[in-house]
Amino acid sequence: MLNDREQSWVDDARVDLEAASLLADSGYPHLAVFQARQSIEKLLKCAYPIVKGWTMPREHSLQAMVHQVFNRIPDPIWDIIKRMNPFYMSTRYIDAAGGPPSKKFDAEDGHEAVAMAEEAFEWILRQLNSKG
């Protein structure tokens, strides 16, 4: 069972995922992609104290966090983490995206990111609930 603070992090990460879906449906795919990625980042950060007993890191790399917390994860989830990791920069910064992010992502990108994040989110959450 997660404590109140841990559950607050999980709940807030879920709100980010819901916001990503709304953004994808509203024509803001680059923001949907970022918000979907952000939901996974928050969930991974709260995994540190739950799984390892460690303080949450000041880290943004999904790949680094997954390795530190879970060591090995199923290949489909790893594929999602690898695909979503670069979106921290490319959804926000013109130089990182090779142009305005609002022009580099389309509706399909937004919806795909939400679907991927939902899958990864549920896997991570199952791991947290089994530990917490």
CATH topology for the 4-131 domain:
Four Helix Bundle (Hemerythrin (Met), subunit A) (1.20.120)
* The pLDDT of residue 131: 87
SS3 of 73-114: CCHHHHHHHHHHCCHHHHCCCHHHHCCCHHHHCCHHHHHHHH
On the 0-12 / 13-18 / 19+ scale of CB atoms within 10 A, 117 is buried
pTM: 0.95
Residue 131 φ/ψ region, left for φ over 0, alpha for ψ in the -120 to 50 degree band, beta for the rest: alpha
pLDDT means over runs of 10, the chain (132 residues): 94 98 98 98 97 96 97 96 97 96 98 98 96 78
